Amino acid sequence: MLSSSTFFNHLQDLNPIKSVALMLQLPPWFMFSMETLLISHSLFLIFCTIRYHFATLYDTNHRIAVYSAYQFQPSNGGGRESRWFVEPQLVNKSWQAEMKDGYWLGKDYPGVYLGEKQALNEDFTYSGFDRGHLNPNGHHAVPSRNATFTLTNVVPQNPKLNQNSWRIHESDLTNLFKAKCSKAFVLVGAVPSAENWIVKNNVKRVNIPDYLWNAYCCVDNNDKPTQSGAATARNTEDNKVEKLTLVQLGEFLQQFSDEPVGELFYNDCRA
């Protein structure tokens, strides 16, 4: 296991997300080398599509994203993607790196089960849960927006929360970032549940997280931090978002970790 600074050295080598890596300091409880991630088969670091749009740490046991890290992009127009995609390399490391429609990937490899290490579109059908974007498509310009439609960026989300208060919170952040931030760096994550799953044919397929959370750090034109914030929401019909500081979010996340939760951003996004 690598230290946070060593792990960040790995991230900084992978342009064009270097600017994100310079600002984001991953918590110690997420500290894995990319080699460990790939060997363990339980966590998988995904830089979505060949052109790096954002980074996602994906849990192949729970089949949900642990968190996603990205830089906010104002919309440049363009429609919403209508399809959901899977990651071929979560089926076989030798397959293409670019996400692909699961239907057509199945046609390319008939008889190969695609869902051993990732959620499939059919897992959500009649489940009672939305395919909730962890990393919101509305925080990206095309083509990065299209990349958010990989199922490795989805968690089962309570429909009332997804379509109401969490959606409004994401929209409020969009307005804030456009009005107040030269650049905005964001972490968004999910807290897995102990025993709450989407079950298909008596098989636990996709973990239903207990909470969603996000955190942001805004900087000026000189890359000096200007403001920050965070929020959590229980993944239920309570439909409430609680606004927090970065320190308060760290305290909240600490209850789910046996290891100390460090700074979510470098120097807690302080100048």
Q: How many residues does the chain have?
A: 271
pLDDT score, position 106: 86
Residue ranges per structural domain of the chain: 4-81+119-269
Q: pLDDT band at residue 14, thresholds of 50, 70 and 90?
A: very low
Residue 2 sits at φ, ψ, to 5 deg, of: -100, 155
Q: Cα–Cα distance between 190 and 172 in angstroms, integer?
A: 20
User: What is the per-residue pLDDT across 202-216, written as a single tens digit (0 to 9) for each?
Assistant: 999 999 999 999 999
Question: What pTM was computed for the model?
Answer: 0.83
Lowest mean pLDDT among 18-32, 44-58, 60-74, 125-139: 18-32
CB 57 within 8 Å of CB 30: yes
CATH top-level class of 4-81+119-269: alpha beta
pLDDT interval class at 119 (50, 70, 90): very high
